[in-house]
Amino acid sequence: MAVSEEEVRRIALLARLEVDQAEVEGLQKHFNDILAHFHDLRNVDLGELQPGEGERKTVCPLREDSIENWDGRESALEEAPSREGDFFITPRIIGGEPDEVS
Amino acid sequence: MKFHEMTARETAEGIKKGVFSASEAVKASLDRMKRMEPALNAVVTSLEENALERAMETDSKRARGDDLGPLGGVPVIVKDNMCTRNIRTTCGSRMLAQWKPPYSATVVELLEASGAILVGKSNMDEFAMGSSTEHSAFGPTSNPWDTDRVPGGSSGGSAAAVAAGYVPLALGSDTGGSIRQPAAFCGVHGLKPTYGLVSRRGLVAFASSLDQIGPLARSVDDLALAMDVIAAPDSRDSTCFRDPRPLYSGAFPDVAGKRVGLVREFGGDGIDAEIDGAVSEAAASLEKRGAEVVEISLPNAGVAGLPCYYILAPAEASSNLARYDGVRYGLKKDAPDLISQFLATRKAGFGPEVKRRILTGTFVLSSGYYDAYYLLAQNVRRVLRMEFEKAFEKADVLLMPAAPSPAFRKGELVDDPIRMYMTDLFTLPVNLAELPGMAMNTGYAKNGLPLGVQLVAPRFGEKVLFGFASALEEASGRPSVAGGGELS
Amino acid sequence: MSRGLQTVIGLEIHVQLDTRSKIFCGCSTDYIGAVPNSNVCPVCLGLPGSLPSPNEKVIRYAVAMALALGCSISETTIFHRKNYFYPDLPKAYQISQYDRPLAVNGSIEIETGDGPRTIGITRLHLEEDAGKLVHAASDGRLAGADHSMVDYNRAGVPLAEIVSEPDMKTPAEAREYVVRIRQIARYLGISDGDMESGSLRVDANISLTGPDGSLGSKVEIKNMNSLRALEHALEFEIRRQREVLSNGGTVEQETRHWDDASCVALSSRSKEEAHDYRYFPEPDIPELHISRHMIEDIGSSLPELPFNRKKRFQSDFGVTEDDANVLTERREIAEWFEGLVNAGSDPKRASNWIRGDLLRYLRESGVDLRDAPFSVAAIAELLGMVDSGTLSNTAARDVFTAMAETGLSVEKAMAGAGISAGGVSGKDLAALVDRILADNSDVLEEIRSGGDAKGKKLKFLQGLVMRETRGQADPAEAAGILRERAGVR
């Protein structure tokens, strides 16, 4: 299945990556090459796999609910490319807020 | 005193016994680095001042009779994707070219606690994506055996640094072969531990379910010594096992009576004849020591491993690298609004290979494609795990090439991503199956380039690996130190 | 064509869990009023190389809430990454849950005008909160701000998201549902459940169904910061949708933000891209196993839930439904009531005292009941004295006020207020009554001559008597003597 130019641009925007025309064409080719290789996956026989077989064997350990203070807060803020006092700064946000948590 | 030919253990013992000082050892390391760096470019940031200071402290401690730790005074290098507090950690990228992390990776903390002295951060393919260390924003690293060739990647800097004798021990990271393939190309030993054995806290993530940190060195014993230091539980990494680790140093298990599996699908066509020869020689050598050589089949690993990896790894990477947007750290390109800032920053910060992988990953995760690619790849991964498990019912260790060819020339594959990906054919199934894999140097080709093999054991089988590896090392001798330019 | 339209409402409630530390790191969750970016660490800042470490208490609180909501708890559950770009999201993904949530299939009962109704609960899952954006504009709003400031103190605070079935039919029912969920969260002690401060957030989905059963498009409404706003927003939206339909139009599926100031739900600007969150299982967090043992342990230590407690107060103690509602509204209040009754107080008297004196005291003083300077035993003693006639209601009120102010025992407070037990009665009372009557002979005359049809004047005199005795007379006895003297029945 061939990937269209439009599709490449949609994916690029989703990933917040700018792509110029030459890059779009190069990526189309790359995607199509990769997809051809992915076809080999369909030949793998999944039929013998039982539920739960071959899954990662780890169980998540849980952490005790206690407060740990970190002393690197100032160093972290110092690394901010744009900082105002205690805040990280972003430029103007256009287009409203996405459907996020609050 | 030929510091550059010593192992880490020999260096530590020499300092402890007072044969030489830590300052001498560290100074020798820094001098050698300075001399050879113009040709090799293995190091992004040299830590001369810090290192000499720490060496002096070590010498004072010794004078007081204090314990120096198992790696006391030994100069070491870590790959530049491991956070070092207040010391630049670039990941080989413009995005983090000036970033100073406010914390250190767990392995860095453990190394320092063991007395090791960090002398540099090594060059790498950007964000660990690559197999040649040609995709670095800081220029390519050269293979110390032939500077027209690549050292492999993405831990090319660490492999070259050990091969050239800057340090006896370095840390790299391996997601699809990034320790083992450069170890093979540079003629040193490199171990990718069982997934979950070494903490990933502080390792800048590429593909979270595949990344592991591991040591590179010029002796099997040094790999074990390094594992005793870095393989420890870490409650701050939920994927790091909580159980105590065994002692890795000491007597390794004997190979007599054990079964060595040669993988049918990993031989023959497409593999350089001399590499094939190295594998056969290794098998024969082990047979002489009493091991039994058996044939093993991994019908899916060779064919499905690569596509499976190139779906899962970029998918995780696309998510792990989304945080680089110029707001909290790293590069920021000025722009009038937020989305423009994100676009401009990521355009300027990421190289073409990273962009390719982020886009591939975004693609396979996007709605409409998730089931066909990502979900399928996860199921194939389960098949691969089972396949290896079955193989280990018939063999105690698997023996195969680390790479299909010795080090290739610079520029040869850099514009052919898929052929570049193929150099990891034998290494990436091991990451997918979460097994320990070790590349070791066993000799040299006719043209002087290093030749090696790869050993793979069941999960937590590091000591088994060391047993087989040390048997091979006894037969072929320890790897030599490279001259950093001409092949003899 | 707006007749026969049925309103269909579903709610998504985010409950902030009141653990000490964040869901994936050891930073404090106490972000309100904190210096910006002071409760942060590499994990909640999403620094390169950082990894999440799940908090056990968060799991326990979520399991408790899920059990209280009658949900089935999944034996194994996993986190997923929800990927999108926004500066308050430090990793550019939120660790949340997708198709293997912690709990599913619960329900709660709400009271409606037509009696109790069951509202289904589809699922409960865990996720991390985002940071806070402050927009640099004079009104603090996004539009017109030339830059924004980000504070990550709130990033990583644990949230339990509770999704209801679309079972609610009116804004009032929606409100009642939120009240009940909030009440349970507070009863369990897992959250403040405060809409104004953001520890409980509600998003609504509302559509109108035609008489033929055809489903209308769902409209999502966000940014309702109080119960009142919730009701108004839903009422607004019902009116708006009915109007659209009666004009022959179709309702567009969209998201609207409630604007409290102008009382409208405004359409958000359309986005360039549809939301493609690219969910995939979180590779940094292995599967969580929730053991039978943990579930049983938490289940057996759940407090009696408000609905059950209310029913029990009615059946066991004979309190009215109205009283029971008030008494069980808050867990601490319910426990006080039960404590008093178990110490021997008459349920009605205890109920009255709580509804009157106690609630008033709490309201006026702002003191937390847990920090009150008087104990259940002391109040039971006080109420017991009223029961036995040793103290009148008025006297008891004064004693209580003294106890609340000073923290003294009943005895000492009584002494301090100059009130003695036993009060004034019999001959002493009669003498006192006569004195009052002598001073108010004109009023007495009016009563005797039949000019107190409503009994107001008698009450006035009684009041004087009670005041004179500082409430230590038995009102009934005083009234009796007065009536006798005045010659009325």
Contacts of B376 in chain A (CB under 8 A): 41-42
Contact C85 B342 (CB under 8 A): yes
The lowest-confidence range among B279-288, B313-322, C142-151 is C142-151
pLDDT reading at C354 higher than 70: yes
Query: Which of A27, A45, A92 is the closest to B336 by Cβ?
Result: A92
Q: How far apart are CA C116 and CA B406, in angstroms?
A: 77
Find, in chain A, the residue whose alpha carbon is nearest to that of C61.
Answer: A65
Q: Is B61 a catalytic residue?
A: no
Provide the chain A residues 58-87 that lie in CB contact (below 8 A) with chain B: 58, 60-61, 63, 72, 75-76, 79-82
- Residue percentage of chain B with pLDDT more than 70: 99
pLDDT at C301: 93
Who's near B405: CB < 8 A, 6+ residues apart? Answer: B271, B272, B275, B423
| B198-202 average pLDDT score | 98
pLDDT reading at B319 higher than 50: yes
pLDDT at C39: 97
pLDDT at C425: 65
- Please indicate if any CB of chain C lies within 8 Å of the CB of B405: no
CB half-sphere exposure, B258, CA atoms < 13 A:
20
pLDDT at B151: 98
pLDDT reading at A1 higher than 70: no
- Shortest distance between the Cα of B238 and any Cα of chain C, in A, equals 6
- Please indicate if any CB of chain C lies within 8 Å of the CB of A87: yes
pLDDT reading at C212 higher than 90: no
The lowest-confidence range among B89-93, B262-266, C9-13 is B262-266
What is the dihedral sign for C-alpha A49, A51, A53, A56? positive
Contact B376 A41 (CB under 8 A): yes
pLDDT band of residue B330 (cuts 50, 70, 90) is: very high
The lowest-confidence range among A7-16, B117-126, B415-424, C123-132 is B415-424
pLDDT reading at B457 higher than 70: yes
pLDDT at C418: 66
Q: Where are the domains of chain B?
A: 3-253+468-485
Higher pLDDT, B240 or C5: B240
| B212-229 average pLDDT score | 98
Q: pLDDT tens digit string along C418-462?
A: 666 656 766 778 888 888 888 888 888 888 888 888 888 888 888
pLDDT reading at A102 higher than 50: no
Mean pLDDT of chain C, nearest integer: 90
pLDDT at C269: 57
Q: How far apart are CA B374 and CA B381, in angstroms?
A: 10
The lowest-confidence range among A73-82, B309-318, B416-425, C225-234 is B416-425
Which of A17, A48, A49 to probe the B interface (max B CBs under 10 A)? A17
pLDDT reading at B487 higher than 60: no
Question: Six-digit token pair at B361?
Answer: 């990953």
pLDDT at C423: 63
Find, in chain C, the residue whose alpha carbon is nearest to that of A95.
Answer: C269
Provide the chain A residues 1-40 that lie in CB contact (below 8 A) with chain B: 3, 8, 11-12, 14-19, 23, 27, 30-31, 33-34, 37-40
pLDDT at B449: 97
pLDDT at C386: 83
Q: pLDDT tens digit string along B97-112?
A: 999 999 999 999 999 9
Q: pLDDT tens digit string along C16-40?
A: 999 999 999 999 999 999 999 999 9
Higher pLDDT, C338 or C215: C338
Q: pLDDT tens digit string along B226-281?
A: 999 999 999 999 999 999 999 999 989 999 999 999 999 998 778 999 999 999 99
pLDDT at A100: 42
Q: Where are the domains of chain A?
A: 5-42
Mean pLDDT of chain B, nearest integer: 96
Q: Give the architecture (CATH level 2) of B3-253+468-485.
A: Alpha-Beta Complex (3.90)
Query: Which of A38, A53, A60 is the closest to B382 by Cβ?
Result: A53
Q: How far apart are CA A70 and CA C41, in angstroms?
A: 6
Pick the CATH number of A5-42 from 1.10.3470, 1.10.3420, 1.10.287, 1.10.20: 1.10.20
Q: Is B405 a catalytic residue?
A: no
Domains of chain C: 6-297 (no CATH), 303-416 (no CATH), 426-486 (1.10.10)
The lowest-confidence range among B20-29, B366-375, C386-395, C403-412 is C386-395
Catalytic pick among B23, B132, B136, B154: B154
Q: Is B79 a catalytic residue?
A: yes
pLDDT band of residue B485 (cuts 50, 70, 90) is: low
pLDDT at C287: 95
pLDDT at C297: 96
Contact C49 B237 (CB under 8 A): no
Q: pLDDT tens digit string along C282-318?
A: 999 999 999 999 999 999 999 999 988 999 999 999 9
- Please indicate if any CB of chain C lies within 8 Å of the CB of A25: no
| B436-444 average pLDDT score | 97
Query: For chain A, which chains pass the contact test of at least 3 CB pairs under 8 Å?
Result: B, C
Coil, strand or helix at B58: helix
